[in-house]
Amino acid sequence: MSWLKRIFGIQLTPPERAIVLYVRCDRCQSTVSVRVDRYNDLAIEYNEREVEVGFVVNKPIMDTKCFRVMQATLTFDTHRIEQSRTISGGAFIDEATYRALQPTP
Check pLDDT > 70 for residue 54.
yes
Secondary element (H or E) of residue 8: helix 2-8
Q: Are 89 and 24 in contact (CB under 8 A)?
A: no
Confidence (pLDDT) at 50: 86
pLDDT(10) > 90:
no
Is the pLDDT reported for residue 2 higher than 70? no
Where does the pLDDT of residue 6 fall: very low under 50, low under 70, confident under 90, or very high at 90 and above? low
What residue segments make up the domains of the chain, in order of their start? 15-101
Query: What does the alpha-carbon distance between residue 57 and residue 74 come to, in Å, rounded to a whole number?
Result: 5
Rounded mean pLDDT, 2-27: 75
pLDDT digits (tens, 9 = 90+) for 19-53: 999 999 999 999 999 999 999 999 999 988 888 89
Secondary element (H or E) of residue 45? strand 43-46
Q: Residues 65-89, buried b or exposed e (16+ Cβ, 10 A)? A: eeeeebebebbbeeebeeeebebeb
pLDDT of the residue at 103: 81
Does the reported pTM lie above 0.75? yes
